[in-house]
Amino acid sequence: MTLEVYRRGAARAAENGIIVADTKLEFGFDPDGALTLADEVLTPDSSRFWPADSWAPGRQQHAYDKQFVRDWAAGTGWDKNPPAPAIPDDIVAATHALYVDAYEKITGVGWRA
């Protein structure tokens, strides 16, 4: 099931110029024993999306995902212990823009806020 969900999502993204580098999927069984896909699926928080037209091996990739925030946090000198540093408004806005760009590229639908 994991591979089928990934294949479908990766194919849809590839049709629109996005590489799904990896993703996280969570499954469980409901009380009746049915396999259930839980949590978010193929979002910038659970996946790494790279633009296919600028991808190149052996270097850091431009990413439409939370790596942007991770890179910012690493640059603050934060030691990954609580409390985390407050995220500035410009970093929040830039992350939002990346997520919207990924959504629009993958779905072909404009974002409506």
Distance CA 33, CA 37 (A): 13
Residue 113 is predicted with a pLDDT of 65
Say how many Å lie between the first and final Cα of the chain, rounded: 32
What percentage of the chain has pLDDT greater than the value 90? 77
Residue 18 and residue 10: Cα distance in Å, rounded? 8
27 with 38: CB under 8 angstroms? yes
Mean pLDDT along residues 13-41: 94
Domain range list for the chain: 2-107
